[in-house]
Structure 1
Amino acid sequence: MQQQSPSTEQETQIVDWISKEIFSGTIVRKDLIYWYIQKVLRRDNGVQATVDPGVVDDLLSRHPDLVKRLVIPPLPSHINRTPVRLNRLEQRNEQCRREAMFGNSPPPPRQPAPYPDGDIIYQCTSRYVVRHDNKVTKYTTHPDGMGATDHPNEATVLRFIRANTTIPVPEVFSSDWDRITMEYVDGQTLKQAWSVLTPDQRSDILDQLRGYIAQLRALKGTKIGRLDGQGAVVPGIFKRSGGPFATLVEFQEWLVKPHKGLRSQSMYWHQITTHLSAECPIVFTHGDIAARNIIVRDGKIVALLDWEFSGWYPEYGEYVFALRGLDNIDWENLGLQVPSLFAKRYDLEYILTHFILSIS
């Protein structure tokens, strides 16, 4: 077969794709770049052409600034860690972050075990994912770990999902307050692969996702909060946690509680509360069905990842957060399809919750 190289237009797309992956925390290696170049050429040129492995080096030689961003960060050490010095604003922000997540009961100081050696495949701030053999360890170097409990909520959730659904998730081998070691699942994120999937593959993936969401919504709960008994978590300027809540009313009153600087507008916030769904089942909710958390291989979903804050939430919660996580990849072909993944739409709750979280 004839060997092919990217056109100028294709190269621009490839470089943009690499830049976005680096920005999102993915450790981009040459094999991943080669995979994407192959997919772009076969998508656009319509033939199973061979691609010279040297095409990656050729592309990088024309983009030296990009090469500098491909540097793999060093593995962290738990021994003699240098304390991070924060200025007053950073100290205040960290205090607000801890208060939002833990209230007046932050986790006690804890000593991490040694971090595993391996290949870093993801790194963003204090979060790492390291592959070693056929396993990955997801861990954080933050002193608060993955929460206030001895084992992460995500480890509990992954075991629960494997036992109660057919949704593909990694097997958990071990966990501690700051880490989870689980099965490595080969593939690419939907975010990485979406632009080079065929229309049939996209349709199949959406059908799979529709079925998985239906399975989650069939699991009914009685209280609102994380599966392991910790409070509910919602994103915002600072992620915040509250509850667990015995009723939907309690949860929604907490959700729209005015920020200290906005209490003079309390009647306005009350009006938001009255327009959120008053009667809504409590169902099991992933809470972050985003393109970066869906692993695909050969046009099929092979794993759904990142169940960190999953648990029992109002039925509209998954709808709200799936739209936030999927509508910014490809609006015409993906974003517009997201509501069809759900048996019932919650558009007003989406609008109101998106507004609440943008200023809270």
Structure 2
Amino acid sequence: MPHAADSEDPKLTATHVAVREARSLANEATLSQLTSMVSHDPAADISEVLKRESTAYPRLVDELAEAFNSSPVDESHNDDHQPSVATGLLDLLVDGSVKVTHSLDQSVLNLVHPASECDEVLNHIPKEMAAAFNQLIRGGKILFQLHDTFVIELGPSHVVKVAQSLDPDHIDNIQYVATHVPKLPIPHCLGVLRSDQRTCLFMSRATGTTLESVWPDLSTTQKTSVQEQLNSLFRLLRTPTAEDSGSGVRLGSFTSGLCKDLRRNQRISSAPLRTEAEFNDFLLQHPNKTVTPCVEMLRSSMKDDHRIVMTHGDLHPRNNMVILEVSQAIPVQVEVMHTEHKVVRVSSIIDWEAAGWYPESWEFVKAVSMIDPRGPLSDWIDFLPTDAIGYFPMEFSIDRLLDQWLG
């Protein structure tokens, strides 16, 4: 009588091995997170982690098992065949190929790995750490989503931006601004992982909520306060000069030197531009359109002698984080739960993909052009920080006509 193992289905055996491998990785990732929490605070409340893992753990095991499970054995089986890796919309690969393109801050490593085991400089992260990051990201709260780009909360102090083909200027720009304007409140880059075409940008979390979400409920006094705060912050941004960049006058993103024009579709210059005249010529370039006499007239009306200044490039209420605080001047007996009774404090300016050296009028033009004049933010133009960024209605009007031509 044959031994039971002799008649065992090899496919079932492979599946069993894959499940054991998957559980081994999932267990190590889960244990790493719990060990990290307890090592920092032996009395830490781990109930939320356990609650999250009750649903995240089975999914992780299933996906890892699928990743490790080999193809069915047949006559054409190739010993060199690599198992396919299950990659969800947010997942890093778990095959050891995840690159560390910007060093991970210790605080990020502490989220998934005990500090005592992460002293070495990592160029790639091991597969068990990739699995731990996948668990961490899946269990986070999605704060923002646009197409295949997500911003996910990883706790009170960290977020991660996960995207396919993340614009590298976002990373370089926030690092440049943090270095050259250290007093400006912005998120800080805490490391970057790249997995195939997916990029994970870890950042410090900007506290509060977006100005866009509360703007319709703010009083005129509160909106004026926001305007005054933004004036102060944008004066800071404009303190460095173009010569401070180390390369003289050069337009475009702080590191790459490429100019961007965000409209219905983003356009990027093919090479660095050195003058505003070149920048204006770039604005009139369209691969499918021929410059008409009317457009030539617009070009002749565009100034070529604005100062070149540090620019955010997307000054929209969604890119300003604010905190609503109870005013100490309000008597205790007054109900202060409503927005209009609170002080609004600008806590951070976020999203620096479009930032760089640009003509001084560009900030105003873009800040106005991205607002629906009939929507809930229609009065945003009345509270722009024009003392700092200037007031350029002529340049805006020309840009609107140009926008209609570009389509």
Normalising by structure 1, we get a TM-score of 0.62
The 3 A distance-change label for structure 1 pair 202 and 344 is: closer
Partner of 2:391: 345
Q: Bigger shift: 268-277 or 300-309?
A: 268-277
How do 1:325-336 residues align onto structure 2 when only pairs under 5 Å count? Answer: 325=370, 328=373, 330=376, 333-336=379-382
Distance 2:239 2:383 in 1: 21
Q: Does 1:215 align with 2:236?
A: yes
Q: CA deviation at 1:359?
A: 3.6
Which one of the candidate residues 208, 230, 234 is aligned to 1:187? Answer: 208
Partner of 1:71: none
- Structure 1, unaligned stretches of length 5 or more? 1-73, 81-112
Q: Deviations over 1:181-215 (max 9, x none)?
A: 11112211111011223433222111011122222
Q: CA deviation at 1:331?
A: 5.8
Equivalent position SS for 1:249: helix
Q: CA deviation at 1:270?
A: 1.9
Partner of 1:122: 144
Distance 1:273 1:136 in 2: 43
The 3 A distance-change label for structure 1 pair 259 and 192 is: same
- Residue 256 of structure 1 aligns with an amino acid whose one-letter code is L
Partner of 1:156: 172
Distance 1:330 1:339 in 2: 19
Equivalent position SS for 1:345: coil
- Structure 2, unaligned stretches of length 5 or more? 1-87, 95-129, 243-248, 325-343
The 3 A distance-change label for structure 1 pair 331 and 305 is: closer
Q: Does 1:231 align with 2:252?
A: no
Moved over 6 A (4+): none
Distance 2:377 2:90 in 1: 38
Q: Does 1:248 align with 2:276?
A: yes
Q: Does 1:286 align with 2:312?
A: yes
Q: CA deviation at 1:136?
A: 0.4
How do 1:40-59 residues align onto structure 2 when only pairs under 5 Å count? Answer: none
Q: CA deviation at 1:163?
A: 3.0
The 3 A distance-change label for structure 1 pair 351 and 339 is: farther
How do 1:253-272 residues align onto structure 2 when only pairs under 5 Å count? Answer: 253-260=281-288, 262-263=289-290, 265-272=291-298
Equivalent position SS for 1:225: coil
- Residue 138 of structure 1 aligns with an amino acid whose one-letter code is K
Distance 1:282 1:330 in 2: 32
Q: Deviations over 1:298-344 (max 9, x none)?
A: 21100100001211111111010111245645566432232734463
- Residue 253 of structure 1 aligns with an amino acid whose one-letter code is D
**How many matched pairs?**
246
Partner of 2:91: 77
Check whether the contact 2:361–2:389 (CA below 8 A) recurs between aligned residues: no
- Residue 235 of structure 2 aligns with an amino acid whose one-letter code is A
Q: Deviations over 1:43-88 (max 9, x none)?
A: xxxxxxxxxxxxxxxxxxxxxxxxxxxxxxx8633569xxxxxxxx
Partner of 1:297: 323
The 3 A distance-change label for structure 1 pair 257 and 175 is: same
Check whether the contact 2:159–2:203 (CA below 8 A) recurs between aligned residues: yes
Check whether the contact 1:236–1:359 (CA below 8 A) recurs between aligned residues: no
Check whether the contact 1:283–1:314 (CA below 8 A) recurs between aligned residues: yes
Percent identity of equivalent pairs: 21
How do 1:30-179 residues align onto structure 2 when only pairs under 5 Å count? Answer: 76-78=90-92, 116-117=137-138, 118-133=140-155, 134-140=157-163, 142=164, 145-147=165-167, 152-165=168-181, 166-176=183-193, 178-179=199-200
Q: Bigger shift: 279-288 or 191-200?
A: 191-200
Normalising by structure 2, we get a TM-score of 0.55
Check whether the contact 1:223–1:244 (CA below 8 A) recurs between aligned residues: yes
Q: Does 1:321 align with 2:366?
A: yes
